[in-house]
Each structure stands twice: as structure tokens, then as C-alpha cells.
Amino acid sequence: MAIRERMSGNEAVATAMRQINPDVMGAFPITPSTEIPEYFSQFMADGLVDTQFVPVESEHSAMSVCIGASAAGARAVTATSSAGLAYMWELLYVAASSRLPMTMAVANRALTGPISIGNDHSDSMGARDSGWIQIYAESNQEVYDNFIQGVTITEATRIPVMICQDGFITSHGVSNIELLEDEKVREYIGEYEPEDYLLNSDHPLAVGPYGTAPYYMEVKRQQAQAMKDAMPVILEAAEKYGKITGRNYGFFEEYRMEDAEVAVVVIGSSAGTGKAAVDRMREEGKKAGLIKLRVFRPFPRIPLAEAMCRVKAVAIMDKAESFSNSGGPLFSEARSALYDLPQRPLAINYIYGLGGRDITVEDFDRIYDELFAIEKSGDPGDVYRYIGVRDSRDGEGQER
């Protein structure tokens, strides 16, 4: 029977880690993920896990610990945020290219500068091409569920996994949650029995070789193929988890999309605000829908495009700026996914919520109103937009 609790997203992640009982955790504190190793170290002090906890002097070293542990055949976890993730940059690529399984909790927070501790997705989106699987959560329940699934995914694919949640919004916000019993978590993830690892004296190998020109490109091609091959593994892990919990996951969630004429595509906790706006639109007789993207890497290009093509106009929301002059990272990939389809919706991008800026139901109302206007006129206008910002282009500094 499920265990009903109230806890923050950080405590939920730490609880999932306790239930998993990893072999090694390397960690260095950084807001807003600091509570995760704090909770976990208390579990250690209470004798609830037998993990080797390695407190280090930097996030770079925390990832180095996980790389060494994983290469040696251990189940490894860590947690970080913002500049801590950026400090790991070099080693994110090392872990991924070495095909080392590990699970990292990321409490998303804006990158400096200017200095900010507010939530946005600039940290993990900045690492989107490092070769890690990326899974995002809307709620505390989802980040708990995602982390447990992440362990099975990383070990089945030999691709490291980032489990992301919105810093402060879910990481520190307390909500009701259903936990699995410890034995069910252990049964779900199973024993970790790596095929190849450094401490296997019967099969010597090297990890992290020098990639000269005759070999480097083949490694990258293999990583790209592994990311494609991870897609059915992610769905299998979700299906197995759904049978245990009754909570069903996929690459994305469709909300009131059955007969929708316009839709928003969004990542993370903002989906909850967007759903409230959809409900309000429906009460007014307006056919609005929402798609909440859960898996950003590997990018579910075909199924997402098929879902978006059921509406006439779509707004793709980015909580990160990529300075491409063409929109944010999610917009670039989602709009590209539509390119080869003969019947595709008009698509626009909104950059929102940077540095912790709130997005409200009223903001979503405005987005939906603009989508309905685009649907009626057939003209998307400027596809690269901001919302909730004092925009100097207006001349009067009003919010857009």
C-alpha cells in the first residue's frame, strides 16, 4: 500500500535515494539543491543506508567521484543546481562519452549573470548537448517518481540521467505525495550488475581514452544511436512503474487535447498554471489544450510533432534564452520537428520566467487569446516573443 506523506521536492528526491540505497554519493552544496545531500546525510547518520558519502570541495569533484564510482561498477548519485552544474560542464561530457550510468538530481536555477538564485531552466538547457538524458518534473510527486525510474533507465542504457525539478517552486514547496514501500522500490530497480567495470579483474579495460581523429567521431555516433535507442527504454521503465503505482508517464502529457484548437507546450511546474488557464478557457467555451514535455533528451520529435499537429496554432514556452535570434531551445527543436509535416500548426515562441519571474494564469490567458487570434487570422506575426517583461521596444516600458 502506498505511503501518504507531505514533503518538499528535495526531500522527495532524498527519500528516493534512501530507498535506492546507492553505493556512492558525491556531493557539494549549492542552493536550491543543498537540502538533498543534507537529508541524505541524515539518513546515513541514522543507519538507514550504507552508501559511501563523499563530501568534496566542489561540484567538479562531486561529478569526478560519480565518474570514478560508476567506472568501478558502483551505483552512483549526486545532486546540484545552477553554477554547480556549470562547474561540472567538462565532466558531464566525460561521463556521457564514457557511457557511465549515474543519476543526478538538478534543482533548476538561473545561471549568473546577473547573479540570481531564482528558477529558470538555463542551467540544464545549457547542458542539453552534453549527452545526458534529461527528464523534467511538474510536481513533487513527479520528481520522486522520475528519480526512481531514472535509475533503471541509466543502467539499461548506460547513459547518465538528469532528473530536473524547478528550484524553490517544487524543491522547497511542500505538497502531498505518495511514496512506494522501500521493498517495492528495491524490487523495481533490481540489483545493479554491470557487465564491464574497472574492478572486474577477469576483463581489464580502460575508461576515458584519448579520442584521436580516427576514433572520436565514431564514439559520438555511438552516443547518438544510444540516445535514440533509449526512447523505448524510457517508455518501458514508465510502463513498469505505472503497473506498480497507477501513475502513468510518457515522453509528454496531453491535457485536454482531445478537441483542442490551440495549445501551449511547456516544461516543468509552469504546466500547473497553464492547466488552470486551460480550464478557465474551457469554461468560456474556448477549445484550449496543453502539452507538458517530460523528456527533453532524447527529444521525442515524431510523437510530439504528431500531438502538436492536432491543433491549428501552438505556443512553445521556453524558461531559458539561447540568444539564437530564433527563439529558445525548446522552440527551436519543437518547431523543427514540424518542418516535414504537410499539415502543421502555426507556431510561436514565448520566453518567460527567467531568473524566477512569475508566470500567472492571466499570462497564460493572454497567450491563449493571442493563439486564437493567430488561428483566426492565419498570421503568426513575430514568432519570437517575451511575456511578463518590461520591454524597451514598446517605448513606454509596459509589460509584454
Q: Are residues 172 and 274 in the same domain?
A: no
> In what order do the strands lie in the sheet containing 24-27?
52-55, 24-27, 76-80, 103-108, 161-166, 133-136, 295-297
Domain stop point among 245, 261, 291: 245
Please tell me whether the peptide bond between 303 and the residue prior to it is cis, using omega within 30 degrees of 0: no
Domain stop point among 192, 218, 245: 245
Q: 3-class SS at 8?
A: strand
Domain stop point among 245, 277, 310: 245
Task: Say what the pLDDT of residue 241 is.
Answer: 98
307-366 tens-digit pLDDT: 999 999 999 999 999 999 999 999 999 999 999 999 999 999 999 999 999 999 999 999
| pTM beyond cutoff 0.95 | yes
Give the integer Cα–Cα distance in Å for 226 and 234.
12
Q: Are residues 270 and 134 in the same domain?
A: no
Q: What is the DSSP string of 88-152?
A: THHHHHHHHHTT---EEEEEE-PPSSS---S--SHHHHHTTTSS-EEEE-SSHHHHHHHHHHHHH
**Which CATH number is 344's domain given?**
3.40.50.920
- Domain, as residue range, for 65: 3-245
Task: Say what the pLDDT of residue 396 is.
Answer: 45
Q: Are residues 239 and 266 in the same domain?
A: no
pLDDT < 70 regions, the chain: 1, 392-400
Asked whether 384 and 318 are in contact (CB, 8 A), the reply is no
**Which CATH number is 31's domain given?**
3.40.50.970
Per the structure, how many domains does the chain have? 2
Parallel/antiparallel/unpaired status of strands 252-255 and 288-293: antiparallel
Instruction: Tell the residue number behind the cell numbers 522500490, with chain if given.
Output: 185
Q: Are residues 241 and 261 in the same domain?
A: no
Q: Cell for 316?
A: 512553445
Q: 3-class SS at 241?
A: helix
136-159 tens-digit pLDDT: 999 999 999 999 999 999 999 999
Q: Are residues 225 and 271 in the same domain?
A: no
Task: Say what the pLDDT of residue 399 is.
Answer: 53
Q: Quick one: which H or E segment has residue 220?
A: helix 213-245
Q: Are residues 205 and 268 in the same domain?
A: no
400 inside domain: no
Task: Say what the pLDDT of residue 205 is.
Answer: 87
Q: Are residues 103 and 149 in the same domain?
A: yes
